[in-house]
Structure formats: C-alpha cells, structure tokens
Amino acid sequence: MRVISGILKGRNIKGFTIDGTRPTMDRVKESLFGSIQNYIPNSICLDLFAGSGSLGIEAISNGAKKCYFVDKNKIAFNTINENVKNFNIQDKSIIIQNDYNNALQYFNNNNIKFDVIFLDPPYNMHIIDNILEYISSNDLLLDDGIVVCEVDDKYLNNKYGNLNLIKEKKYGTTYVYIYVKSSK
C-alpha cells in the first residue's frame, strides 16, 4: 500500500495487514482522488474508520490543511501514529482512538466541521446511512463539503438531508459514493 499522488507520492504506508481493516485498493484510491482533487487543497478532512490512515494521508499529500484520523482499534491507532511520524505530517494530523459515535458527538459538541469526510467502515456494519443522517442533521460539513463513502453493495440513497449524491462508481465489488452538502 502506498501514497499514489501528491508530495508523498510513492511512499509506503504501513498497516496493510491490520486485523479488521480493509485497505482501499490503489486503483480505487487513484480514481477517487482524481474525482475529488478540487476539494482537497487547504481542506480540513476527517478519516473516520481510518485503519492505516491511507485516505487521510493521501489527502494531506494532495494539499489538505489538516486531517482528523479516527479509529477505535489500538493497533490501527498505533499504525496511524507511526505513519504520520514517518511522513513527518504531525502538524497536519490529529489522531483519535475512539468509537465513531463518540468521535462524531465530540466534533458536534466542539463545533468542528469538515470540508471532506471519508467513510469506510467495515462492510458488515451497514451504518453509513445513519452516519450520513447524523452528519447532515448536525451540520458537520462546511458549505460545499463532501462525504466519500466506500461500501460493498449498492444500497445508499441519493439524498440524506442536505447531502446530495454527485457521483457513484463501482470498482469490482466496491462502490464509492460521493455526496456534496447543498446550501438549499
């Protein structure tokens, strides 16, 4: 697993074998970041269910100002810390070991909002619907912010509150959905 673009391009990311995680394939990541490249520069990102931190690291490599990495798994948490240190991006990284619900409540309670949110939970959890509803109803996205979801089945809706689907793409058995916050 490696960084596929930006200032860290070609560098290896540790954590491919963390139990309970499923790294995003390089070809999916490359296509995904090609689709959202205009949203990344100077953005504040959230990599929820971060695993190795691959998506957040890729965002920082492409010019994100800051990324919050959240994972409850201690091995994932330690791996993200190691990757962030190895890439010398500590000043752009906030790493949180916590459950996604608690993390989302923390962000809501502390008025922390994002330009880009990456959602890639374990496929068997089927919780993205609830998370998208929470993001929308608690206004966790900045204006024109996006949410990128990775799932194993075509089951997400076209709209969740003020989040509107702008792109859906299938890669083998993986579906990527991208939602944008509408101001209407």
CATH superfamily of 26-181: Vaccinia Virus protein VP39 (3.40.50.150)
- Tally of residues, the chain: 184
Domain boundaries in the chain? Answer: 26-181
Q: What is the pLDDT of residue 89?
A: 98
Q: What is the pLDDT of residue 142?
A: 96
Q: What is the pLDDT of residue 117?
A: 98
Amino acid identity, residue 116?
V
Question: Which pair of tokens denotes residue 75?
Answer: 């091995």
Q: Locate tokens 């502390």: which residue?
A: 110
Q: What is the pLDDT of residue 17?
A: 62
- Cα dihedral 48, 52, 54, 56, rounded to 10, equals 40
| Rounded Cα–Cα distance for residues 179 and 10 (Å) | 28
Q: What is the pLDDT of residue 20?
A: 53
Q: How many other C-beta atoms can be found within 10 angstroms of the C-beta atom of residue 67?
A: 28
Phi, psi of 141, deg, nearest 5: -100, 140
Segment-wise mean pLDDT, segments of 10 residues, the chain, 184 residues? 91 73 67 93 97 95 98 94 97 97 98 97 87 97 95 88 95 90 78
Residue 72 per-residue DSSP state: -
Q: What is the pLDDT of residue 123?
A: 77
